[in-house]
Chain A
Amino acid sequence: LAKTTQPISMDSYEGQEVNITCSHNNIATNDYITWYQQFPSQGPRFIIQGYKTKVTNEVASLFIPADRKSSTLSLPRVSLSDTAVYYCLVGPLNNNAGNMLTFGGGTRLMVKP
Chain B
Amino acid sequence: EADIYQTPRYLVIGTGKKITLECSQTMGHDKMYWYQQDPGMELHLIHYSYGVNSTEKGDLSSESTVSRIRTEHFPLTLESARPSHTSQYLCASSEPAAGSDEQYFGPGTRLTVT
Contacts and interface: CB of A to CB of B under 8 A. Distances in A.
Instruction: Specify the main secondary structure of chain A where it touches its partner.
Output: loop
B112 to A, nearest CB: 14
A38 B105 CA distance: 10
Contact of B101 (A36, A41, A43, A94): A94
Interface stretch (B40-48, B63-71, B73-81): B40-48
Contacts, number: 55
Residue with the greatest number of chain A CB neighbours at <10 A, chosen from B59, B100, B107, B110: B100
Contacts of A43: 35, 90, 92, 105-108
Interface in B4-24: none
Interface residues of B, number: 26
A13 interface: no
B40 to A, nearest CB: 8
Interface residues of A, number: 23
B32 to A, nearest CB: 12
B103 A46 contact: yes
Interface centre among A95, A102, A104 (most CB of B within 10 A): A102
Contacts of B35: 43, 103
Contacts of B50: 96
Which A-B residue pairs are the 10 nearest by beta carbons?
A43-B105, A94-B96, A103-B43, A46-B102, A43-B90, A93-B101, A49-B100, A105-B42, A96-B50, A100-B45
Interface of B: 33, 35, 42-43, 45, 48, 50, 56, 58-59, 88, 90, 92, 96-97, 99-108, 110
